[in-house]
Chain A
Amino acid sequence: EDQVTQSPEALRLQEGESSSLNCSYTVSGLRGLFWYRQDPGKGPEFLFTLYSAGEEKEKERLKATLTKKESFLHITAPKPEDSATYLCAVQAGDDMRFGAGTRLTVKP
């Protein structure tokens, strides 16, 4: 059965303290791995799509990487406005399966 597991469940950082969020997956026939950001009471906002192992993408302070078993979302020198829930999702077949998310809090 396809599974997506995100860790940690919650992460508290000081402003400027870099860290990484993990997304482990077991799917057959991965079509794509997606990262989204979700603020409270809002819909997910698209960040990245990764399609193959070794691929990397960057956007401002965020960098996403992909291996055959997991993806990392690296946050460099985070700011309080980076506080949100980060969702990982995998596409295998027609369905997108989401992880439970990592709630990131960045303290000033």
Chain B
Amino acid sequence: GAVVSQHPSWVICKSGTSVKIECRSLDFQATTMFWYRQFPKQSLMLMATSNEGSKATYEQGVEKDKFLINHASLTLSTLTVTSAHPEDSSFYICSLRQGNSYNEQFFGPGTRLTVL
């Protein structure tokens, strides 16, 4: 399977600051990238979908001005949590897909965000 990296693996920040999370594909070019959020003992919730060079499509209830997504290239996507608050504390996971939606998604290892 594909190798996906995320950086940082964990981050602790003060309320009101912004945090950037990077997601990289190490061995294939991703047509589509996804960002998920996962709360403890819950399943993954899709936040947004992006294609290289296009604006991200956000799921209902996800604030696009708060969660900025930049799909810079076929191997890099970033999620910036702006003006983070304690309720944004969560496990953020990116995933990549090559080709159409019949193909599997490969997930990164996740980033644990804690907002104090």
Contacts and interface: CB of A to CB of B under 8 A. Distances in A.
Co-assembled chains A and B: yes
A44 B107 contact: yes
The SS class assigned to the A binding surface is strand
Interface residues of B, number: 23
Contact of B4 (A41, A43, A100): A43
B11 to A, nearest CB: 14
Contacts, number: 54
A43 B1 CA distance: 14
Nearest to B41: A103
Contacts of B110: 41-43
B97 to A, nearest CB: 9
Contacts of A94: 49, 101
Contacts of A100: 42-43
